[in-house]
Amino acid sequence: MRTLLFLLQKEFRQITRDKSILRMILVMPMLQLVLLPNAADYEMKNILLSVVDHDHSEYSRQLVQKVTSSGYFKLNSFSDSYADALQEVEEDRADLILEIPARFEKSLVHEDQATLFLAINSINGVKANLGGAYLRSIIQDYNREVRTQWIQLPRLSPETTIDIVPTNWFNPRMNYKVFMVPGILVILVTLVGSFLTSLNIVREKEVGTMEQINVTPIKKHHFILGKLIPFWAMGLLVLTLGFGIARIGYGIIPLGSFLTIYVFAAVFLLAVLGLGLLTSTYSDTQQQAMLVSFFMMMIFILLSGLYTPIDSMPTWARYITRINPVAYFIDVIRLVVLKGAGLYEIRQQLAIMFGFAVLLNGWAVLSYHKRS
């Protein structure tokens, strides 16, 4: 125990002596937590629209006015030529083209139907899909308004009508920050835990202190614990500061208990720190450790469910998410923050994470033994 205390003292001094590491651990994650949720908005706005109006009728003007007043679209150009509008798309100045044919109003009045043409710039797939969906929804709404003006409704409407009253459970206002901020906080804690730990043992190798440690009677589990505990404490500190920013900056207060989050976070950090130490024992230089960590972090983030729901992923990707610790923590922190889940509700995720922690740290200890 005394040996471990000396090792911890040495590690904490090493961390606090290097100001750049302190900035990486404390300042950078907090800045990211302030900036990223405000930039990563799921709601698409300012979609650039080019309108080609061949009709110039009252109805076509009403339709264009309804589209542009929705707040989602920004009128980029208004012309009579589809070629001119297409040129705007090719030069990336327009995302959508709405072409209103000649005789639009007459067809609508006399034949009860009219056809509109949409051309969508699909370079940005998300913007194209959402923009097209928004525009179709607005046009359908306009169509209903026109029909309502024409039809002299009797006391009982001959048309079947279904009124939908939606209710959003656990996030009544559908505020995306409420579920994005906890997810981003998990990513930042993971970065601090795994990335910096992966560089730790490699740095000892590069500066030559590893050989000195190897000739001392320090036991291998003392050495691993001495490397693991400081960053485990730093990870919990980052989590605490992150919840402070979430409370002050975004007004987010977990519906469930902080104890549940911290119990899971403690086990989660053991798992990702073990992964970082494992990477470190297999790497000979800090550059190798950084590249491996970067590769794993990209997979962890993209397959974590932070941006894309896991159920929407292909089958092979869903299998990979089962061995992704970040996916479990994001699922748990959203359950606790939004739904108020307790330890009993997250027992399965907790057991899996404990298994990850035992496996990765045990592997790191064995790996260090082989190379010492």
| Segments of 16-106 assigned E as strands | 47-53, 73-79, 96-100
Place 42 in a pLDDT band, splitting at 50, 70 and 90. low
Q: Please check the confidence at residue 372 and state whether its pLDDT lies above 50.
A: no
Q: Which two tokens stand for residue 326?
A: 């970040």
As a whole number of angstroms, the distance between CA 364 and CA 228 comes to: 11
Q: Please check the confidence at residue 148 and state whether its pLDDT lies above 80.
A: no
Q: Residue 79 pairs with which residues in a beta bridge? A: 52
DSSP string, 205-244: HHHTHHHHHHTS---HHHHHHHHHHHHHHHHHHHHHHHHH
Place 159 in a pLDDT band, splitting at 50, 70 and 90. low
Q: Are 371 and 202 in contact (CB under 8 A)?
A: no
Q: Are 50 and 68 in contact (CB under 8 A)?
A: no
Cα dihedral across residues 225, 240, 344, 181: positive or negative: negative
Q: Which two tokens stand for residue 207?
A: 């500066």
| Selected residue with higher pLDDT from 154 and 195 | 195
- Residue 291 neighbours by CB distance under 10 Å: 13
Q: Domain spans of the chain?
A: 1-40+175-367, 47-150
Q: What is the mean pLDDT of residues 260-279?
A: 91
Q: Is 269 helix (H, G, I), strand (E, B) or coil?
A: helix
> Alpha-carbon Rg of the chain, whole angstroms?
28
According to the model, what pLDDT value does residue 135 have?
85
Place 96 in a pLDDT band, splitting at 50, 70 and 90. confident
Terminal Cα distance for the chain, rounded: 21
Task: Name the architecture of domain 47-150.
Answer: 3-Layer(aba) Sandwich (3.40)
What's the predicted TM-score (pTM) here?
0.77
- Please list, in sequence order, all residues whose beta carbon lies within 8 angstroms of the beta carbon of residue 170, skipping any fewer than 6 positions away: 255, 338, 339
Q: Sheet harboring 96-100: ordered strands across?
A: 73-79, 47-53, 96-100, 117-120
Q: Please check the confidence at residue 41 and state whether its pLDDT lies above 70.
A: no
Q: Which two tokens stand for residue 142?
A: 């306009």
Q: Are 269 and 235 in contact (CB under 8 A)?
A: yes
Percent of the chain with pLDDT over 90: 17
Q: What is the mean pLDDT of residues 136-162?
A: 71
- Residue 304 neighbours by CB distance under 10 Å: 23
Q: Are 60 and 117 in contact (CB under 8 A)?
A: no
Q: What is the mean pLDDT of residues 107-129?
A: 79
Q: What is the mean pLDDT of residues 193-200?
A: 78
Q: Residue 75 pairs with which residues in a beta bridge? A: 49
Residue type, 346: I
As a whole number of angstroms, the distance between CA 270 and CA 173 comes to: 35
